[in-house]
Amino acid sequence: MLKFSCNTVLRVSRNRNMSIFTQCLNPLTGVASWEEKDQYYDYHQEVARSAFADMLHDHERNEKYYIALKAAIEKKHQAGEEANVLDIGTGTGLLSMMAARCGADSITACEAFKPMANCAAKIIKENGLEDRIKLVRKRSTKMIVGNDGDMPKRANILVTEVFDTELIGEGALSTFRHAHEVLLEENSIVVPHRGTVWAQVVESDKVCAWNRVKPIKNGELLVDAPSAIQACSGAAAVHDMQLSRLSRDAFVPLLPAQPIFRFDWSGKTPLLNNEKVSLLTQPLTSGIAHAIFMWWDLNMDTDNQILLSCAPVWEHPNVPDDVKKDASSLQKMADSIPWRDHWMQAVYYLPEEVPITYNVEVNLIGYHDEYSFWFKLLNGPMNEIPDCHRPECNCWAHIAYSRTRIGQLNDMARNQRYLQALRKITPNSVCLCVSDGCLLALAVARLGAKVFLLEQNFLSRRTMEMFVQANGLCDRIKIVESVDGLPEPSEIDFIFGEPYFLSSIVPWENLRFWYLASRYPSSITRMPIAATIKAVAVEFKDLQKIRAPLGTCEGFDLSSFDRLIQASSEKSDNPVEAQPLWEYPCRALSSSFDIIKLDLTRNVNFDERRKLTGKIPILDSGSCNGVVIWVDWQLDSDLSVSCGPIEEIVPGKRVSWDPYTRQGVHLFRRVSNVTKESTLSWAFTFIPQSGEVEFQFDVLTNDSL
């Protein structure tokens, strides 16, 4: 069953037993209700969110940490010293157990997250290493060195993995700095030894579309973007992305990829919280600079022989130079470089677009504070690096809408379908638009209609007010703040929506449109007229690793971690989650199939309970590890839009997904190897009164029949 967004927690004691009531908003009905939960619900949520199995599935990461640890311990022993290892943020205890296998003389592992620390203790014991590893259940910055402390003396080897997509976003700078000041001897070896941040300036309309709302045109300008939105640099939060999945023809590198920040984890060079760096660079070609692609690598050892790179495929050190020059070869090679969801690449949007001219040098300026990076471009040489504050949204739009939604607003093909379907609206019609941040409402008003626009979210309403004013449509659009302020049925000729709502996470939650439209007689014309929930059985190449059990990892039994995460996940996680599948390759194992088709021209029947079941054949052999679910919206008898595939699904072939929506994903906890004799069974339950939606899927193979 899909769980709804919960934001308020109330605890009630009953005869010494504690119950937790969470206030949950149903995204279909818009009704908030209280649900009683297990007293350990908070605990299970926290444990489930700590699931970093995809990181532990990263064999290259594990292997290079292992090799670098072994080299560090041997180097200390060759120098006649003990190898005393400190593992900060041990998690499952994996790195500490590696150190034990490599012959460390003493090992201290610290872990502040108590459920994970308890799990690490169990794993260490189950692997027979409890006598070799001392586990400290606290933050490294709270550790005490001394006879009665957490360590009798300072360590001389530090191993830690406190990195994120931005490298320093998890507090790496303060962690390493404190370790050198308090917990490590001088001349300690640190694994990893050094980190390097790379930056590449690009021109890309596709990437830019995720950041700036563009005007809507249909031969003429229908909706213009307010100047405040066009000039805004966007959200401050980094845009993490699987850049290797971005088509090579979707961007043009304007400057060569180059290292811009270097962090010496060994302590030989101070780690500063605030730095600014300028690189004077010769452009590769002329163009308009839209964004900076960023990634990083780690030199794992003191001899700089072991490199762990997070570079995208076209800059990855493991990809031959001749392959990097061929777009089709690059796309194939993207499948061979290590997949990481814990360390993606990042996109930083420039405060303003900058024209770049070939043969005119450009200053790429990078800044960072304790946790984040940002960038600026200036043409020509300069005497001093200017200060620049971290960009943040000052136009409301980037706070109101996700980057996925902004990309959707800029999807020209999608907008054209809607505009074509909306041609039936005659001038002087009175329309009701029920969608959040729907720019099509402005287009309809521009075509002569009067529009009531329901905007219940304050941030979205504030943004739409800016659009209405900037387009001079205040006399044709009235923004309604709540359902209580909706116009009477006699005032409305037409009801439409995209549909899109900020409260919706998975695609079918946008059926909120249907519930709102059902406040009016079904005799009033609507658009869209139907919604079909569809699905396909797939084999994900990598995405399944975010939930897949580890079992044995680098020779260590981590099954206790699997049990901990799975038990908490089953109690707190949705069985279907939203994912941007254009970033995560999958192959279809079946044809697409319809789960239910809903007639949106008829009002919701709140007395009806829909329960449907079915079976569909598997049409290609493979590993069935997931099912993808999406919605096709039928705008009228001829036109439809989909938040699923952008090309026809062919069993056995890779699926191309819409990059401007997120699809629903059900990942199987037990993966089945399927053949053409296998079957996918499914069940679907929909209770309109409560807005509850439930999916169940099961794979039937020859072994299970």
Residues with a catalytic annotation lie at 161, 170
Residue 85: which of 227, 196, 188 has the closest Cα?
Answer: 188
Q: Is there a cis peptide before residue 528, judged by omega within 30 degrees of 0?
A: yes
The 10 Å Cβ neighbour count of residue 403 is: 20
Tell which phi-psi region holds residue 91, choosing left (phi > 0), alpha (psi between -120 and 50) or beta: left
Residues whose CB falls within 8 Å of the CB of residue 319, separated by 6 or more in sequence, listed in order: 313, 330, 333, 337
Residue 238 backbone zone (phi > 0: left; psi -120 to 50: alpha; other: beta): beta
d(CA 389, CA 369): 10
Q: How many Cα atoms occupy the beta-carbon half-sphere of 310 within 13 Å? A: 31
Tokens of 462: 């504030």
Q: Are 569 and 547 in contact (CB under 8 A)?
A: yes
Residues β-bridged to residue 203: 252
Q: Compute the distance between CA of residue 137 and CA of residue 121 in angstroms, rounded to an integer.
A: 10
Closest CA to 508 of 689, 688, 699: 688
Distance between CA atoms of residues 204 and 703, nearest Å: 50
Alpha-carbon torsion angle 186, 189, 190, 196, nearest 10: 100
The C-alpha atoms of residue 169 and residue 162 are separated, in whole angstroms, by 9
d(CA 95, CA 109): 9
Question: If residue 697 lies in a helix (H) or strand (E), which one and from where to where?
Answer: strand 692-700
| DSSP annotation of 425 | P
Tell me how crowded residue 11 is: count the other CB atoms within 10 A of its CB: 11
